[in-house]
Structure 1
Amino acid sequence: MNEVFLKLPKNTVKELFDRLKEESLKRGMVMYDEKGEPRIVNVRVRPWLITKEQKGFFHMVCLNMKDALQRVANIYYNEPKARQILTLTSREDEWFFEIYSNGNQAQQTVFDRIDANAIFSSSDWKDSFAFIETNSVGVGGVYYIPAAANIVEDIVLPVIRNHVHKVEFVMQDDIRELLFETITEHAQKIERLRANVVLIEDQRCLDGTDEYAFVANYLKGKGLAAFATDPRELTLRKGEVHFRDTPIDIIYRDCSIDELHEMEDQGAKIDVLKEAFKKNQVVSSIAGEFDHKSTLEIFTDEEYGKYFTPAQRRLFKKHVVWTRLIWDRRTKGPDGKKVELSKFIRKHKDDLVIKPNRMYGGEGVVLGRFAKAAEWRKAIEDAFKEGCLHVVQEYAEIKEEKFPVLNEDGRVTIEKNYEVSGFASSDSGIAFLGRCSIEPVVNISRKGGLIPVIMVE
């Protein structure tokens, strides 16, 4: 499809890219830096094309992963040894046991995005991907994914259709619809049929995205009373959560419990959130708290296999990267044999990645094969010195694809980008997210780009 853009007249190309940028700004495709200054999210002009077969396959796989994530809270509750891997602070741990032990937690609901290195244009797409991270608190892209697809549908697809025939392009499942489904189904499970919903995030934080206001408007359009606000704005009246004068049934959260404790340390009253968790009114539920990278150690250590189905164990073995939380210990390596972890990491630099366990945005990630020897040694020393704050993962190749870009003289050139895929699923559908960057650590917050996704039939 890149050839389509290379053959376009210069004036047509410039108009296309100008409109793409203009519509991105108009439709709120914006991120903010630490000073609150906006920048437009770079939407790639050439979309990923996903087939019906690929959609069906990844939907099945991701529902299996979602179910596995929802089981992790039970593992933490029942397995003291697992608490060394799923590292909660003492305050988080206290909250967890107070919430999870109260008898209201049978219906754990996780709204998640699972990231992988999948690429959909290769013939071995079904076998060559690996899941590398899970996200179940503050899932990014709930507004950006459909907004990018809609921009491409309005501006780019008419051009593509003039050159690509005998192919029908259709929109992928809307992730906002999947969230709506998740919220309303959870409301039914806990017998809150009214389903008034509030979306909470730390609104005093200047950097990041501004998606929640757009998502709240979408949910309003679906008939829900929906609000986007700061968790400090919620109150408790006669045991019921309120936002201003509206009683709230479901809280969709961008905040981890640890972040709530930080707010408490600054003087905020967060007891209202604890009560909401106790009544299981929060999505993601307490199980969502375990979106640590070390959760993948639970998946890739056979010791915990009894908690998962045979299909999940097969999935982990084939498609989840070997992961270990870093501290001074012996553990099983990728081949199942016991290794001294520090020696193993030093010896296998080009095959491994070191990441902060609970940070996001690509911060602190060191890819062994791209790092200088001194940088790798320092990453190892820091990780072992800090203890249990980093993971080591088997390197999953971050693949490259070519995308058309506009150069300074207004002509299309082809640029190679590394790319990462993400998947958000519900029972009824799946949404694909594509991100790309000229750097191998791919993240939109690191000035990466967003790849729109279109289905082909």
Structure 2
Amino acid sequence: MNLREQIYADYIRELKEHYEENRAAAEEMKEELQHTPLISRGRLIDKPLAMQKVYTREDDWRFREIVEMTHRICCKVIDRYVADPEYRKGFGFSEKLEELILADPGYPDELPMARFDIFYHEDTGDFKFCEINTDGTSAMNEDFHLDKLNLRNPAHQAICRKYRLRSYELFDSWVETFLELYTHYRKKHPEMPLVPTVAIVDFLDKGNVPEFYEFAARFRQKEIYAQVIDIRSLRYEDGRLLAPEGYEIHGIYRRAVTADVMEEYDSVTALLDAYREGNVFLCGSFRTQVAHAKTFFSMLHREETRAILTAEENRFVREHVPYTCDFGEEGIKLEEVIRNKDKYILKPNDSYGSDSVADGRGRSPEEWREVCEAYYNKGFICQEYAEQYATPNVDFMFGDGRTWDYINMNGLYSYNGSFAGVFTRQARGTIIASHGSERNVASYLVTE
């Protein structure tokens, strides 16, 4: 029995031998959830399970390899997009978005923050990609508060007494990354102050606002003035980007996803104009959208992308990026997907939160045909379904308190190409869907 199997066995034994204690504690934690930042806009965004996810040093090393390789590939593709007008056509972005992507961000780092969501097989270290999140990368606060909540989790505390665990730190490390990138930006813009005034911006009726305030607090701990501001309330006057109160903003931590920016383009022109004219440090820039779009995976399989990657990078793509194509006449025949309902999954080209994602495994042939006909030629991609690794867990708070197998999704945080931590989600079924089947656990590294 290896270390991971031993930890799983210890968790299950603790839950069985102290079942009532753990069930009662879970009920208390469920009530406590209502008074934590895990409530956003009146909705509970996390549904915790009893057993937490513990990664070994071998997992940690593997995650570092994955993040570094994926970041390198993303940056190569972004660079080619910027340099090659013909290559850009494969992404199908609008002229307005293309213009924003081509604008010079003023610093060389193409992908400051990302979360690479993968289906990781713990027994072998193999994996398949699910998706890549860039602008709007989130859930740091969820892992942080799930860790706090586990102080009330008897089974987890028993594991902590037996093993040395540490959580992943995702706030202060990002502030350091942001400031390092701002230093690069100042080399091209020496007129900017040594210490920036920072705004964390999103459409505040859409974003995970409690998380923004946690980041703002971490900036202030570094003696960096930072506020959470609705992106629509910014003003741009005389070459200065201004907060609603009138003070100048030098650095933006952008949490507004590009799809929302483009949808509300006319209401965010202050930020866009300041960015185009080089009068604000925007982290991340709109170049991150190249890797964020679902079409990125289909582009990785095309010959023009293979030509810019090394043999090692191309092998990485072949082994880990599921076959992906446009779900339309230019990509794949409708009947091919309908006939093979267990082989494919359909996703919107640019969305988040698992909106409209559909697979055939949980549907009858008639239901699958109906979905396929509704999505065909409607801005979706078709992707080969990736088998997911399952591990046991128990849902006392929202389930039946029995042990079931849950599929896992492992979100690897990348801060300027360096592995920063993991956000782990689980579900029963065939899709881990936000606001639906998704359940959450805190992520830990066992150090001995």
TM-score range for the pair, normalised by the shorter chain length: 0.7 to 0.9
1:378-393 equivalent positions in 2, closer than 5 A = 378-386=370-378, 389-393=379-383
Which of 147, 152, 156 does residue 155 from structure 1 map onto? 152
Per-residue CA distance 1:11-70 (angstroms, 9 max, x = gap):
x224421343244333311134xxxx3336212221111011211211121122123223
Does the 8 Å CA contact 1:70/1:110 hold for their aligned counterparts?
no
Instruction: Render the CA deviation track for 1:370-399: whole Å, top value 9, x for unaligned.
Output: 33222332333333332xx11011110133
Structure-1 residue corresponding to 2:410: 421
Which residue pairs with 1:238 in the alignment? Answer: 238
Farther-moved stretch of structure 1 (226-235 vs 425-434) = 425-434
- Looking at structure 1, the residues matched to 282 and 217 of structure 2 have their Cα atoms a distance apart, in angstroms, of 19
Rounded Cα–Cα distance in structure 2 between residues aligned with 1:131 and 1:60 = 14
Q: Kindly tell me: are residues 117 and 234 of structure 1, through their superposed partners in 2, closer, same or farther at Cα, counting changes over 3 Å?
A: same
Residue 37 of structure 2 corresponds to which residue in structure 1? 28
2:111 to 109, 112, 122: 109
The DSSP-based 3-state class of the residue aligned with 2:62 is helix
Letter in 1 for 2:362: F
* Distance of 1:181 and 1:28 partners within structure 2: 23
Q: CA deviation at 1:163?
A: 6.2
1:84–1:201 CA distance, 2 compared to 1 (3 A) = same
Mapped pair 1:56 → 2:61: yes
Tell me how far apart the structure 2 counterparts of residues 220 and 428 of structure 1 sit (CA, whole Å).
24
> Matched residues, percent identical?
18
C-alpha displacement of 1:400: 2.9
CA displacement at 1:166 relative to structure 2: 5.0
- The code of the aligned residue for 1:254 comes to R
> Could you tell me which residue of structure 2 aligns to residue 85 of structure 1?
90
Deviations 1:226-250 (A, max 9, x none): 1111012222243122223433222
Would the alpha carbon gap of residues 277 and 222 (structure 1) be closer, same or farther in structure 2, given more than 3 Å must change? farther
Relative to structure 1, the CA distance from residue 282 to residue 365 in structure 2 (aligned partners, 3 Å threshold; closer, same or farther) is same
Counterparts of 2:327 and 2:45, CA distance in 1: 37
* Amino acid across the alignment from 1:155: R
| Residue of structure 1 equivalent to 2:269 | 270
CA deviation vs aligned residue, 1:158-214 (integer Å, no higher than 9, x gap): 65454676522222x212233213211110110154132211111234x86642122
**How many aligned residue pairs are there?**
427
- The letter for the 2-side match of 1:441 is I
Counterpart AA for 2:343: D
174, 188, 198: which one aligns with 2:183: 188
Residue identity matched to 1:325 = D
Given that 2:22 and 2:155 are in contact with CA atoms closer than 8 Å, whether structure 1 keeps it comes out as no
The TM-score with structure 2 as length reference comes to 0.86
- Matched letter for residue 222 of structure 1: K
CA gap of 1:274–1:178, structure 2 versus 1, over 3 A, is: farther
Q: Is the 8 A contact 2:67 2:418 kept in 1?
A: no
Please give the alpha-carbon distance, in whole angstroms, between the structure 2 residues aligned to 1:89 and 1:228. Answer: 29
Alpha-carbon displacement from aligned partner over 1:228-283 (angstroms, at most 9, x marks no partner): 11012222243122223433222111223442343344xx2513334225537212
Q: Tell me the equivalent position of 2:387.
A: 397
Contact 2:201 2:254 in 1 (8 A): yes
What is the alpha-carbon distance in structure 2 between the residues aligned to residue 79 and residue 94 of structure 1? Answer: 14
Matches within 5 A, 1:35-434: 37-39=42-44, 41-97=46-102, 99-100=103-104, 104=106, 106-120=108-122, 123-124=123-124, 126-127=125-126, 129-152=127-150, 154-156=151-153, 159-160=155-156, 162=158, 167-171=163-167, 173-191=168-186, 193-205=194-206, 210-243=210-243, 244-265=245-266, 268-276=267-275, 278-279=277-278, 281-290=281-290, 291-329=292-330, 341-386=333-378, 389-406=379-396, 412-426=401-415, 429-434=419-424
CA distance in 1, matches of 2:439, 2:298: 29
Residue 190 of structure 1 aligns to a residue whose secondary structure is: helix
In structure 2, runs of 5+ residues without a counterpart are: 1-10, 187-191
The equivalent residue for 1:335 is none
CA gap 1:369/1:160 in 2 versus in 1, 3 angstroms: closer
Q: Closer, same or farther in 2 for the Cα pair 1:107/1:412, shift >3 Å?
A: closer
The 8 Å contact of residues 117 and 131 in structure 2, kept in 1 or not, is answered as: yes
Task: Report the CA distance shift for 1:155/1:219 in structure 2 as closer, same or farther (over 3 A).
Answer: farther
Any idea what SS the aligned residue of 1:211 has?
A: helix
SS in 1 for 2:143: helix
Cα distance change, pair 411–327 in 1 and its aligned pair in 2 (3 A): closer
One-letter amino acid matched to 1:382? A
Contact in 1 for aligned 2:431/2:437 (Cα 8 Å): no
Consecutive unaligned residues of structure 1, counting only runs of 5 or more, are 331-339
Q: Aligned-pair distance for 1:411?
A: 8.7
- For 1:428 and 1:325, the matched residues in 2 are separated by 31
Give me the whole-angstrom Cα distance separating, in 1, the residues matched to 2:333 and 2:400.
51
